[in-house]
């Protein structure tokens, strides 16, 4: 081949490569959350976003409406389509230089399910799993499962298993709490339900909160101190493991038995903000109805428990700010009864969760009566989902029903006694016998068991050993024995009064 022909060949090949690369760059691309079988949120603008070539015209057509826009200089674009009522299936078409069509799209309510291992707990392990799975053909419940990932910065997209209709097979590995919640809501509201599961066992709340929110509050600086200590310890452990590997090799070379060493924990792959960046932030442009949350066990230690109330409230505000759809319902599970050992701070963590109810549009499912003292992962997720659904029906859907057990509101002094007042107190009852689980203390905060009796919608507590009672607490242990319920059969939350 002549030099001229060679140059022409190289030029043509380069041109074709450039055109091919430009064409690939120009293709409209969509985040993982947009897919066949998805559910989009009813009664709010349908927000659709993606990437394309800078300046490229992109149009989205859905339910007879079309919106157009140009991709910005970074190739990002977003459109909003008119809100609509629940229904489907529909088709959504996204067109630029290429066309993407999503089929079997439903319009209904989208809920995010997040937290740690008790939210992650799959249907195949739940109570009566075989029977529950057999009846899990629920075509109007759609599942979207975000895979575990941590990141130092906010990502544009999640890694996920795509939207699927709920079947015995597809829901087997999905969150049992989320499924039972959705089943109740779908049955009650008669609209499609989309579940976006994003959870990771053993993770603390700070990993699910953005770095911006964490660093904006000086009182949350212990979060970073704890992480620094963990990374320091892990560096030491890695060094120790290196020395151990050398000792093992030397023993093997000399024909000696392998030496035994203590177990060293690996540093978790999550950091403050890490799971928010990778598993939550990419979802925040997709409108939702609300969130359900089951977490707290990882924050129930001596270091983390004291800041949990502030941290948890910060996380909720943070999510709401990033989603930008207002103070959406945030419903959570109070950690259950479990034998934790002397160094745990589960009562303090439960009370921190209770105090989080001061935030607007929050609801809490108390589970101290349906846990398993011998297993941190109790299998009765049906009742957990049902109690969360009661809160959703009241808070998200405006139904008039009792959705919470008694919640401590205030106390007033009596004759060597304290009278306690509760919200959600209609029909107070001591389940199974005399009322128990209460302790009182004087100004020295030395708590002693108290006698307690129900008096209308209040409870009177006293002790012959505490003549001037000032403080009171209820079900204050890792495995509480309190038995105060209301007429709806919902248990009272553990609490400690903080002011006389």
User: Which tens digit of pLDDT belongs to each residue from 204-233?
Assistant: 999 999 999 999 999 999 999 988 888 877
**pLDDT tens-digit profile of 368-404?**
999 999 999 999 999 999 999 999 999 999 999 999 9
Q: What is the pLDDT of residue 20?
A: 44
- Sign (positive/negative) of CA torsion 493, 478, 317, 397? negative
Q: Which residue has the tokens 């053909």?
A: 137
Q: What is the pLDDT of residue 236?
A: 64
CA 206 to chain centre: 12
For the chain, 500 residues long, the average pLDDT of each consecutive 10-residue run is: 48 45 67 98 98 97 98 97 98 97 98 98 98 98 97 96 97 98 98 98 97 96 89 70 77 83 61 97 98 97 94 98 97 97 90 98 98 97 98 98 98 93 98 97 96 97 95 97 98 87
Q: What is the pLDDT of residue 251?
A: 85
Asked whether the beta carbons of 453 and 435 are under 8 A apart, the reply is yes
Look up the CATH number of domain 109-398.
3.40.50.1110
Q: What is the pLDDT of residue 325?
A: 92
Q: What is the pTM assigned to this prediction?
A: 0.90
**pLDDT tens-digit profile of 131-188?**
999 999 999 999 999 999 999 999 999 999 999 999 999 999 999 999 999 999 999 9
Q: What is the pLDDT of residue 270?
A: 84
Q: What is the pLDDT of residue 252?
A: 87
Q: Which runs of consecutive H residues, i.e. helices, occur in 125-272?
A: 129-134, 176-189, 211-215, 221-253
Q: What is the pLDDT of residue 248?
A: 81
How far is residue 446 from each of residues 334, 404, 414, 442, measured CA to CA in Å? 26, 30, 19, 7
Averaged confidence pLDDT in the chain: 92
What gap in Å lies between CA 196 and CA 249, rounded to an integer?
Answer: 48
Domain boundaries, given as residue ranges, for the chain: 1-26, 109-398, 407-496
Structure token digits, residue 39: 């559910």
Q: What is the pLDDT of residue 238?
A: 65
Q: Exposure string (b/e) for 433-442, b if CB count within 10 Å is 16 or more? A: eebbbbbbbb
Q: Which has the closest alpha carbon to 309: 341, 282, 349, 275?
A: 349
Q: Which has the closest alpha carbon to 280: 269, 291, 267, 294?
A: 291
Burial class (CB in 10 A: 0-12, 13-18, 19+), 285: middle
């Amino acid at each position: 081949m002549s030099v001229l022909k060679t140059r022409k060949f190289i030029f043509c090949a380069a041109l074709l490569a450039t055109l091919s690369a430009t064409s690939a760059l120009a293709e409209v691309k969509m985040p993982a959350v947009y897919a066949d079988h998805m559910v989009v949120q009813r009664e709010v603008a349908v927000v659709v976003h993606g990437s394309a070539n800078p300046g490229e015209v992109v149009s989205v057509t859905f339910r007879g409406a079309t919106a157009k826009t140009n991709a910005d200089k970074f190739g990002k674009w977003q459109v909003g389509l008119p809100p609509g009522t629940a229904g489907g299936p529909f088709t959504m078409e996204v067109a630029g230089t290429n066309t993407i069509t999503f089929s079997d799209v439903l319009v209904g309510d989208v809920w995010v399910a997040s937290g740690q291992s008790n939210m992650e707990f799959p249907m195949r392990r739940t109570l009566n799993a075989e029977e529950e799975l057999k009846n899990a053909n629920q075509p109007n419940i759609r599942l979207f499962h975000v895979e575990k990932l941590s990141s130092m910065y906010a990502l544009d997209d999640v890694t996920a298993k795509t939207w699927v209709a709920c079947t015995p097979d597809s829901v087997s590995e999905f969150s049992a709490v989320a499924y039972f919640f959705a089943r109740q809501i779908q049955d009650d509201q008669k609209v499609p339900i989309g579940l976006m599961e994003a959870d990771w066992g053993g993770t603390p709340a700070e990993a699910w909160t953005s770095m911006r929110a964490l660093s904006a509050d000086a009182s949350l600086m212990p979060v970073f101190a704890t992480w620094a200590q963990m990374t320091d310890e892990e560096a030491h452990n890695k060094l120790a493991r290196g020395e151990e590997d050398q000792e093992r090799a030397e023993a093997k070379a000399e024909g000696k038995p392998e030496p035994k060493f203590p177990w060293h924990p690996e540093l978790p792959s999550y950091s403050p903000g890490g799971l928010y960046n990778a598993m939550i932030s990419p979802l925040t442009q997709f409108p939702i109805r609300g969130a359900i949350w089951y977490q707290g066990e990882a924050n129930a230690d001596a270091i983390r428990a004291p800041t949990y109330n502030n941290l948890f409230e910060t996380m909720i505000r943070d999510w709401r700010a990033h989603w930008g759809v207002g103070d959406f319902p945030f419903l959570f599970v109070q950690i259950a009864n479990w034998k934790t050992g002397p160094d745990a701070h589960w009562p303090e963590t439960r009370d921190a969760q209770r105090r989080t109810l001061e935030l607007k549009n929050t609801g809490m499912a108390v589970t101290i009566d349906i846990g398993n003292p011998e297993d941190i992962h109790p299998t009765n997720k049906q009742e957990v989902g049902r109690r969360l659904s009661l809160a959703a029906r009241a808070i998200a859907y405006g139904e008039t029903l009792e959705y919470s057990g008694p919640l401590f509101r205030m106390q007033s002094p009596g004759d060597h006694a304290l009278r306690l007042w509760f919200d959600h107190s209609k029909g107070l009852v001591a389940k199974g016998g005399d009322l128990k689980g209460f302790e009182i203390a004087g100004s020295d905060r030395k708590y002693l068991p108290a006698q307690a009796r129900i008096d209308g919608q209040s409870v009177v507590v006293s002790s012959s050993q505490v003549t001037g009672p000032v403080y009171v607490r209820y079900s204050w242990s890792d495995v509480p024995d309190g038995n105060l319920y209301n007429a709806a059969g919902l248990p009272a939350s553990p609490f400690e009064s903080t002011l006389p």
